[in-house]
Structure 1
Amino acid sequence: MDFTLLIIIIILALIFDYINGFHDAANSIATIVATKVLTPFQAVLWAAMFNFAAYFISKYIIGEFKIGNTIAKSVDEHFITLEVILAGLVAAIIWNLVTWKLGIPSSSSHTLLGGFMGAALAKAGVFSQIIDGKEIDVINYAKVVPTFLFIFLAPLIGLIIAYFITVLILNICKKANPSKADRWFRRLQLVSSALFSLGHGGNDAQKVMGIIGAAVICYHMNMGDVAYTSLESADRFAHFVEDWGWVPFVSFTVIALGTLSGGWKIVKTMGTKITKVTPLEGVAAETAGAITLYLTEHFGIPVSTTHTITGSIIGVGITKRISAVRWGVTINLLWAWVLTIPVSALLAAIVYYIFSIFM
């Protein structure tokens, strides 16, 4: 039964990975499509290629998968079961599909995290328990609190960096020939969107890895596998990556395939509804988003690529004037961001209770 559940979880996690790809395709391509530098098909092909290339950077240049480790340890191992992970995944898939259908650029990262935590809390029934004489929190706050904070900090950082990059470019290029500068920035958008797609792949594919890792570790612990039970908790994820080396490769491949499918409703929201974007501003927004993603990946903080690029687009918008940003759309997006974790957590708790009746 446990092995069957593990296989179901891996399949569902990869389905989520695929959905994440087409849900978040807009993050990488919205500005490059809005400025007509590439056609929609060319744009998703470009983004997917660099989503996949991020695997080689994470494995061979960075040398570890910090964000996957953070997701895997967002819930204390005493409260992780295969049923908890399954319920969290089902809830995350439902919420992602609903927001995609409505064209709302919500965070796949926070959907997954909310689902995982909500199902674990439903299993425990409390926020902490006394285990072996020690009070253990269900949620690993040291891992989760930075993620909560970056719901607001990631777009703010993206906004600030994008604002200053735009102002810097405008000052450097103020005497340039407008048509010649426009041609150059169209070419540079290929570079900036590639950089952002690398950050998107490295950030988001690892989240699925983290969930699969939590399931695999749980399965081996239940089986009494000495290769896992003999290790300290902090070392188990690294052993999983080494032991199940195909999981990172497949996770990055599937998110790239999802990106190829596109997410056109969200492209429209990101590329045209927040503010009108020129090639120059597209370069600034994507570069700012990429810098933010690389910084947070370095510290192992799973952030939303959606939040990051939205903040960056707002940052370039306010360099023109405050009214250039459609604040009504932006406020609606903010509500979606704030509600994603609690709604997906509640949904996961309901799914877990339903599963507990039949499993």
Structure 2
Amino acid sequence: MDSQLILLIVIIVLALVFDFINGFHDAANAIATIVATRVLTPFQAVLWAASFNFAAYFISKYWIGEFKIGNTIAKTVNENFITLEVILAGIIAAIIWNLITWWFGIPSSSSHTLIGGFMGAAIAHAGALASQGVDVINYVKVLPIFLFIFLAPFIGMVVAYFITIIIMNICRRSTHKKAEKWFKRLQLVSSALFSLAHGGNDAQKVMGIIGAAVIFYHVQQGDADWVNAPDRFKYFVEDYWWVPFTSFLVIGLGTMSGGWKIVKTMGTKITKVTPLEGVSAETAGALTLYLTEFLAIPVSTTHTITGSIIGVGITKRVSAVRWGVTINLLWAWVLTIPISALVAALIYYFIMLF
């Protein structure tokens, strides 16, 4: 077995490890509000969310018919600067940052961690060429991702605000007890919708990284089918059919393991959430994710649901949102890509010593 094939296998294994970590890191996104409102116990909630994370595979494959976000991730870096060492360094950096933010209960973006690591390692690999003006980064793919660091939570916030206002007006004549009973049931629906969107969005990011590695390996080996394929990512999905299936399965298993520190931050520290507000936040988050998936823009499910929860809090009063916590989260969001990129670059230099 040649060294490049061994490296490819290591990358696939580590990418699935990242996928699992992504699941338990982002479990809070789908279940924070449903646990905070006591609609489900923590165990019931992660089981519910994990089931829909995995079900998203069948929607992406058989209903949508393609994996747009995976394709975007695979093409964030100019293919001339992609090597297996670059991808390995990016994944290791992403795993490190995800574990650090999980340990401190910071709901940062697994998506941006992965993208930042990939770009940082590629820039390190490019070296002198990067300083000569050669584009390492595919800006057509990357600029919308950067833009939606801010747009995704803002869209989630605005949509959640208006959904909450509309619901409150519709239900103004209903008794509190009756309304709460109905919204607890509706939270099962809204959390399922968000979990579907979460699975469809985040599992594809790992697919994209594995796809970039597999495509590089086969092209480097001179495999004619891969070299001549008009759409290499589409060919990868067809030939490595088990990668999408496994990516969705593993993120579901990761979600089942939970991420309780982040659940606490998302469900209780930003603002107090009622069943009605939980429905609004999850529905707004899901709609935002479906929109960005349609546009093939990888966004952070963490940023999206956080923005939605803030939008719900603002309907009561601006002071209902704990802005100190929110500002700390914003710093984590802004720093995720550059820190991941820096760590990945250092790891790449270390790998190349051997």
What's the TM-score bracket when you normalise by the shorter of the two chains? over 0.9
Question: In structure 2, how many angstroms separate the alpha carbons of the residues matched to 1:225 and 1:97?
Answer: 37
Correspondence for 2:27? 25
Letter paired with 2:99: L
Determine the structure 1 residue equivalent to 2:143: 145
Aligned residue in 2 for 1:236: 232
Q: Which residue of 2 aligns with 1:254?
A: 250
Q: CA deviation at 1:129?
A: 7.6
Counterpart of 1:31, as a letter, is T
- Give the TM-score, by structure 1 length: 0.97
Q: Using the TM superposition, give the Cα deviation of residue 177 of structure 1 relative to its aligned residue in structure 2, in angstroms.
A: 1.2
Deviations 1:65-108 (A, max 9, x none): 00000000000100000000000000000000000000000000
Question: Deviation of residue 57 (structure 1)?
Answer: 0.2
- Per-residue CA shift, 1:193-226, capped at 9, x if unaligned? 0000000000000000000000000000110000
Give the letter for the 1:139 counterpart. I
CA separation in 2, counterparts of 1:159 and 1:357? 47
Q: Quick one: structure 1 residues 339 and 185, their matched pair in 2 at CA, closer, same or farther if it must change by over 3 Å?
A: same
Q: Which residue of 1 aligns with 2:89?
A: 87
1:177-216 equivalent positions in 2, closer than 5 A? 177-216=175-214
Deviations 1:162-205 (A, max 9, x none): 00000000000001011000000000000000000000000000
Q: 1:106 aligns with which of 99, 105, 108?
A: 108
Counterpart CA distance in 2 for 1:136 and 1:355 is 23
Alignment of 1:275-354 (within 5 A): 275-354=271-350
* Partners of 1:269 and 1:214 in 2: CA distance: 34
Question: Distance in 2 between the 1:279 and 1:65 partners?
Answer: 33
Write the distance in 1 (CA, Å) between the matches of 2:225 and 2:188: 45
Does the 8 Å contact 1:116/1:348 carry over to 2?
yes
SS at match of 2:316: coil
* 2:117 matches 1:121: no
Structure 1: give runs of 5+ residues left out of the alignment: none
- TM, length-normalised to structure 2: 0.98
Q: What value does the CA root-mean-square deviation take over the aligned residues?
A: 0.9
> Offset at 1:231?
2.4
Per-residue CA deviation, residues 224-282 of structure 1 (Å, 9 max, x unaligned), is 000111124xx000000000000000000000000000000000000000000000000
Q: Quick check: 1:129–1:137 contact (8 Å CA) kept in 2?
A: no
* Partner Cα distance (1:305, 1:276) in 2: 20
Letter in structure 2 aligned against 1:95: W
Alignment partner of 1:226 is 2:224 = yes
> Which residue in 2 is equivalent to 1:268?
264
How far apart, CA to CA, are the structure 1 residues paired with 2:279 and 2:229? 46
In structure 1, what is the Cα distance between the partners aligned to 2:165 and 2:38? 23
Distance in 2 between residues matched to 1:197 and 1:271, nearest whole Å: 16
What is the Cα deviation at residue 125 of structure 1? 1.3
Amino acid across the alignment from 1:155: P
Q: 1-side partners of 2:275 and 2:299: how far apart? A: 25
Q: CA deviation at 1:128?
A: 3.9
Q: Whole-Å Cα distance in 1 between the matches of residues 129 and 40 of structure 2?
A: 49
2-side partners of 1:219 and 1:129: how far apart? 27
Contact 1:121 1:127 in 2 (8 A): no
Aligned mates of 2:128, 2:46 — CA distance in 1: 44
SS across alignment from 1:210: helix
C-alpha separation in 2, matches of 1:152 and 1:262 = 26
**SS in structure 2 opposite 1:78?**
helix
Greater Cα shift, 168-177 or 120-129: 120-129
For the 8 Å contact 1:55–1:202, the answer to whether it is kept is: yes
CA distance in 2: counterparts of 1:102 and 1:254, whole angstroms: 23
- Give the Cα–Cα distance (whole angstroms) in 2 for the partners of residues 66 and 300 of structure 1: 5
Number of equivalenced pairs: 352
* C-alpha distance in structure 1 between counterparts of 2:286 and 2:240, whole Å: 29
Alignment deviations for residues 96-140 of structure 1 (CA, whole Å, 9 cap, x no partner): 00000000000000000000000000000157488xxxx741000
Contact 1:49 1:256 in 2 (8 A): yes
Letter in 2 for 1:15: V
CA distance, structure 2, for counterparts of residue 208 and residue 101 of structure 1? 22
In the alignment, residue 106 of structure 2 is paired with which amino acid?
I
- C-alpha distance in structure 1 between counterparts of 2:128 and 2:147, whole Å: 23
Contact 1:127 1:139 in 2 (8 A): no
- Tell me, in whole angstroms, the C-alpha distance in 2 between the residues paired with 1:126 and 1:351: 18
Residue type of the alignment partner of 2:125: K
CA distance in 2, matches of 1:271, 1:70: 31
SS across alignment from 1:357: coil
